[in-house]
Amino acid sequence: MSGKVTNIRLVGVGGQGILVASELLCDVLLTSGYDVKKSEVHGMAQRGGTVNSDVRFGQIVYSPTIPDGEADILLAFEKMEALRSILSLKAGGVAIVSEQRILPTAVAIGKVEYPSDIAERLRERAGEVLAVDALGMAIQAGSKRSANICLLGALSGFLEVDESLWEGAIRDRFRHKGLEANLKAFALGRSMPKPEGRSKRDLE
Amino acid sequence: MKTTILLSGNEAIARGAYEAGVRVAAGYPGTPSTEILESIIQYDTLYAEWSPNEKVAFEVALGAAYGGARALATMKHVGVNVASDPLLTASYTGVNGGLVLVSADDPGMHSSQNEQDNRHYARFAKIPMLEPSNSQEAKDFTIRAFELSEEYDTPVLLRTTTRVNHAKSVVRVSEPREPVFGRFERNPEKYVMIPAYGLKRHVVVEERMNRLRELANSIDLNAIEWGDTSIGVITSGISYQYVKEVLPDVSILKLGMTYPLAEELVRQFASKVQKLYVVEELDPFIEEQVRALHLDVIGKERFPIIGELNPKLVAAGFACVSRGEAFAAEACKIEKPDGKCFAPTPKRPPVLCPGCPHRGFFHVLKKLNAIVTGDIGCYTLSALPPLETMDTCVCMGASIGNALGIKRAMPDDDKTPVVAVLGDSTFVHSGITGLIDAVYNGTAATICILDNSITAMTGGQDNPASGKTLMGEDAPKLDLAGLARAIGVEDVLTVSPRDLKALELALKYAIQTDKPSVVIAEQPCVLIDKGKSVKLSPAAVDPEKCTGCQLCFRIGCPAIESRLAEDGKIYAQINANLCIGCSVCIQVCRCQAIGRCAQ
């Protein structure tokens, strides 16, 4: 085998800035010296549907997609989408979940119910579930559009990546617009207390 | 500039074309190919265009190659069907400057109407085919494809799939070659395919195939990675990555050039491994050619012919092999989803955006109880609940021909209206000839052009009816109504799909005439219209007036939500964050309960 590959699946709803977040994550991992692959699907799926982005890094990465049950971290931008992708998470993996709810049309018009036991169901499989009020923090940071970067901040606590690289990548990507809010949102996300007093650690 | 960057396969193909000194690039948007041309315009050494359709795009690129420049044509798999007419004869004429056709296939049908395997086109057209397996190869193979094209005087097919086009991986970039401007030189026996010349060129094609078969055995794009020889796997493209992921220690014959097949290399490889496998997505394209060499091979009986492969499926295919069994069995193990956490989650299908001009159109059309032949675009989503107003969808432009056929199949006394629905870009792509048929043969169908001034489904590309080019220049905006009149349609009605009354009147008028008619529903896509038009204040429901009839739920707007009141009844409310104030719900509500928020 070619050494350990770490798998992060980002999930959410079209329009939440998932692809920007996964781009930024890849920038940082590449600068850290990893081989990186990422995969997602464009086109029809974007119209308010579910969006997934798989990011894999390590010494050498082959498949750009994460096999089911092998995601080390599930980073969900919408609560119910975390549940939908739970099969991708390895047993005992980490689920970082935004508390934001976006209602699919059938739920919005009352035909189907939004699940009420999401956290409980996630805990059945995930070793750790970190709930993040990403939208609230983003608004606190000055722009609700920075919720995606806030979630990256929460994710960063689980990765062995130098903090200055994150800041550099955010500065690179947002130098024209929204830099301050994004830096602040990232810091707020990063300051989230980890479950069980856990600190930064390698997922291995 | 950094020399090692993360690029998608599409960005890497664009980079490769730039480094190869491409002068002309042409294509038609289509997932998963679209970003190649969107990315290529960053390089100012070349000309790039969205053509009206893939046939024109390929012909433009072929012309540029005849003229001596390097040229690239890009399209999705079904687009190659449209371009196949010039493609099969371009094989005869050959090129002059290099010509590469990118076919972006979509196994798994993430955003397509079928999952055809375009590797067959290489065999059909008798042209060489390269298949990259990651972004680095996407760039390198693009450059190699141009070299091969010129050396062998042939178009080259660069065949990719969604997971190569849209996956990002690390690429080392290099300095570009200076693009060569061309000058066309007459050579009728090569470029004028009348039968007498064509027959001679067919001889050239077969001779070229023989030389390419030789090349396939020695070219460095095809290589054996020796490992454990109890298993030998022939593979290519993204499937190679899955095999490496699952069985990194076995022997692999990786084919970068998959047509013509490297027969000697395959024989040599097969003779040294105990069990021979072919792992390929979709059709048994390589497998059948390997079988034709009288070699025992395991392929489609283990690896599905339908949908995308992935590491789990590949592992499962190897699971019962003696060597590697333990590993493969472990790798393909997917836990039984029997826990509570795996219970189904409410679906989140793609929907028309809040404020989408198509919503009002289909709401009105539904009332007419017409047979609706549909087409390829965002509006195809109207086939799904709650709108459910589309009866056919086949390929670009098919709505019109389908409508004419359905109408002609009906007895004369059947007055059921038949309505074809297609977008502006789709109409320009291949609807115009259908409309000519309607007029020429006098078939009384109604053709509705949903003109949102953009190619929306693929992410908002310009087209001849949008007034801009790929390179961002202003262009004459195609006058769709004028075109329909010029074709000979007498009743051409242009309405706003946000004015439901006017739209209903126009549609009712159009379907009752005994001649072909055209209704143009004109309203820019909300995704391009942002900030351009006057900001409309969002709609709101007056809880005093709402009776809970739920009629507004039937337009399927994401901004309309339910509200459970104290009386236990469900009423409507509007999410002001999502609403863009298109006013369709205001017009649909029968109790005048919906109005605009005060500014």
In chain B, CATH 3.40.50.970 sits at: 4-218, 357-529
Residue A52: φ, ψ to 5°: -120, 145
Q: Give A134→chain B minimum CA distance, Å.
A: 17
Mutate to test the interface with B, among A2, A9, A29, A41 (most CBs of B within 10 A): A41
The neighbour count for residue B476, using CB atoms within 10 Å, is: 7
- Angle made by CA atoms A35, B167, B107, in degrees to the nearest 5: 140
Q: Which of A68, A110, A113 sits opposite B334 (nearest CB)?
A: A68
> What's the N-to-C CA distance of chain A in angstroms?
15
Rounded to whole angstroms, how far apart are CA atoms B310 and B119?
19
Rounded to whole angstroms, how far apart are CA atoms B562 and B553?
8
Which pLDDT score is estimated for A41? 74
The model's pTM? 0.95
CB contact under 8 A, B32 and A67: no
Which pLDDT score is estimated for A202? 37
Rounded to whole angstroms, how far apart are CA atoms B238 and B132?
8
Nearest residue on chain B to A122, judged by CA atoms? B341
Q: Which of B167, B337, B564 sits opposite A37 (nearest CB)?
A: B167
Residue whose entry in the numeric block shows the structure tokens 């009147």: B505
Length of chain A (residues):
204
pLDDT-derived band at A101, boundaries 50, 70, 90: very high
- Residue B493, SS3 per DSSP: strand
CB contact under 8 A, A124 and B347: no
Residues of chain B contacting residue A35, judged by C-beta atoms under 8 Å apart:
169-170
In the CATH hierarchy, which top-level class contains the domain B222-331?
Answer: alpha beta
Residue A202 lies inside a defined structural domain of this protein: no
Q: Give A158→chain B minimum CA distance, Å.
A: 23
pLDDT-derived band at A111, boundaries 50, 70, 90: confident
Q: Are B273 and B251 in contact (CB under 8 A)?
A: yes
Instruction: Please count the structural domains in chain A.
Output: 1
CB contact under 8 A, B351 and A105: yes
The neighbour count for residue B172, using CB atoms within 10 Å, is: 11
Task: Kindly state the tokens that stand for A141.
Answer: 């940071």
pLDDT digits (tens, 9 = 90+) for A33-44: 999 999 987 655
Q: In B496-558, where does DSSP find H-type helix?
A: 500-512, 526-529
- Domain B357-529: give its CATH architecture: 3-Layer(aba) Sandwich (3.40)
Rounded to whole angstroms, how far apart are CA atoms A151 and A149?
5
CB pairs under 8 A between A and B: 161
Fill in the DSSP letter of residue B455: B
Rounded to whole angstroms, how far apart are CA atoms A86 and A106?
21
Contacts of B348 (CB under 8 A, 6+ apart): A13, A48, A49, A50, A80, A81, A84, A104
Q: Are A124 and B339 in contact (CB under 8 A)?
A: yes
Q: Which of B248, B346, B381 sits opposite A2 (nearest CB)?
A: B248
Residue A20 lies inside a defined structural domain of this protein: yes
CB contact under 8 A, B350 and A48: yes
CB contact under 8 A, A44 and B350: yes
CB contact under 8 A, B34 and A38: no
CB contact under 8 A, B242 and A45: no
Nearest residue on chain A to B551, judged by CA atoms? A109
Which pLDDT score is estimated for B533? 58
DSSP of B266-319: HHHHHHH-SEEEEE-SSS-HHHHHHHTTT---B-TTTS-SSS---HHHHHHHHT
Which pLDDT score is estimated for A43? 57
Instruction: List residues bridging with A75 in a β-sheet.
Output: A10, A96
Rounded to whole angstroms, how far apart are CA atoms B201 and B372?
46
Return averaged pLDDT per consecutive 10 residues of chain B, 599 residues in all. 90 98 98 97 96 98 98 98 98 98 96 96 98 98 98 98 97 91 94 98 98 98 97 98 96 98 98 98 98 97 94 86 49 55 82 94 97 97 93 98 98 95 98 98 97 94 96 97 98 98 98 97 86 76 96 94 92 92 96 87
Task: Kindly state the tokens that stand for B457.
Answer: 């489904």
Amino acid at B404: L
Task: Kindly state the tokens that stand for B495.
Answer: 């309405």
Which pLDDT score is estimated for B508? 98
**Domain housing A111:** 5-196
pLDDT at A105 over 90: no
Residues of chain A contacting residue B557, judged by C-beta atoms under 8 Å apart:
105
Residues of chain B contacting residue A81, judged by C-beta atoms under 8 Å apart:
348
Fill in the DSSP letter of residue B478: P
In chain B, CATH 3.40.50.920 sits at: 222-331
Q: Which of B32, B311, B345 sits opposite A43 (nearest CB)?
A: B32
Amino acid at B456: A
CB contact under 8 A, B169 and A64: yes
**Residue A139 is part of a domain; what is its CATH number?**
3.40.920.10
Q: Are B129 and B156 in contact (CB under 8 A)?
A: yes
Q: In B348-498, where does DSSP find H-type helix?
A: 357-367, 398-409, 424-430, 432-440, 480-487
Nearest residue on chain A to B308, judged by CA atoms? A65
Rounded to whole angstroms, how far apart are CA atoms A186 and A192?
10
Task: Kindly state the tokens that stand for B168.
Answer: 């990002």
Q: Is the ipTM of this complex over 0.90?
A: yes
Rounded to whole angstroms, how far apart are CA atoms B9 and A103?
33
H or E stretch covering A204: none
Q: Does domain B4-218 have CATH number 1.20.1640.10?
A: no
Q: For B528, left (φ over 0), alpha (ψ -120 to 50), or beta?
A: alpha
Which pLDDT score is estimated for B343? 74
Which pLDDT score is estimated for A201? 41
Residue A167 lies inside a defined structural domain of this protein: yes
pLDDT digits (tens, 9 = 90+) for A19-78: 999 999 999 999 999 999 999 876 555 567 889 999 999 999 999 999 889 999 999 999
Distance of CA B454 to the CA centre of its chain: 16
Burial B211-242 (b: 16+ CB within 10 A, else e): ebbebbbebebbebeebeeebbbbbbbbbbbb
Rounded to whole angstroms, how far apart are CA atoms B226 and B242?
17
CB contact under 8 A, B349 and A104: yes
Mutate to test the interface with B, among A44, A83, A87, A144 (most CBs of B within 10 A): A44
Q: Which of B170, B352, B561 sits opposite A35 (nearest CB)?
A: B170
In chain B, CATH 3.30.70.20 sits at: 539-596
Q: Are A94 and A126 in contact (CB under 8 A)?
A: yes
Q: Give B238→chain A minimum CA distance, Å.
A: 8
Residue A186 lies inside a defined structural domain of this protein: yes
Residue B275: φ, ψ to 5°: -125, 130
Q: Give A69→chain B minimum CA distance, Å.
A: 7
Which pLDDT score is estimated for A46? 57
- Domain B539-596: give its CATH architecture: 2-Layer Sandwich (3.30)
Nearest residue on chain B to A112, judged by CA atoms? B346
Contacts of B35 (CB under 8 A, 6+ apart): A42, B8, B10, B11, B14, B165, B166
Q: Are B142 and B20 in contact (CB under 8 A)?
A: yes
Rounded to whole angstroms, how far apart are CA atoms B543 and A21?
40
Length of chain B (residues):
599
